[in-house]
Amino acid sequence: MKITSNSPETTGELAAFLAGKLQPGDVLTLEGDLGAGKTTFTKALGAALGVTKTINSPTFTIIKEYAGDLPFYHMDAYRLEDTEEDLGFEEYFFGSGVTVVEWASYIEDFLPEERLEIRVSYEGEDARSFFFTPRSSHFETICEEITNEYISD
């Protein structure tokens, strides 16, 4: 499924819509080039989940935890390339919060099978495309809802 956004505001609305459908234990992977808008999307998603603190880069610490209506975990596996370490991912993936993983391909072996894969691509100064690939029936339902309720609005 592809959704195009023409501004950071629209990206924010999309993220907020998605956030409203998420449940504890949901895992979202986020791929996209530097500057593609992964951070903008994650900030909006976290804010919609009730996080009030500033969400900033987890590159250095790899995992950042935030308190919201649901716990919100922001991971960046950028520095885990070529390593096979398990940082206790299961506790996050199968925990009570929502997890967003950037550079998820570096920890492919640890990712849960049931997840929503999101790829962001740069289409111009403010325009971005979001490609959603649901990996479970729960996420398929969410994608259908996005198509029916969000896009048709």
Does 127 bind another protein (CB under 8 A)? Our answer is no
DSSP characters for 97-118? SEEEEETGGGGGGGS-SS-EEE
Does 31 bind another protein (CB under 8 A)? Our answer is no
Of 62 and 143, which has the nearer Cβ to another protein? 62
Residue 79 in 3-state DSSP? helix
Residues 40-59 that bind another protein (CB under 8 A): 53-54, 56-57, 59
Q: In the bound complex, what is the minimum distance in angstroms from residue 2's beta carbon to another protein?
A: 24
- Chain CA centroid to CA 3, Å: 15
User: What contacts 84, CB < 8 A, 6 or more positions away?
Assistant: 109
In this chain, which of 10, 16, 80, 140 binds another protein, going by CB under 8 A? 80
Burial class (CB in 10 A: 0-12, 13-18, 19+), 113: exposed
Does 16 bind another protein (CB under 8 A)? Our answer is no
The contact set with another protein (CB under 8 A) reads 34-35, 39, 53-54, 56-57, 59-66, 79-80, 82-83, 85-88
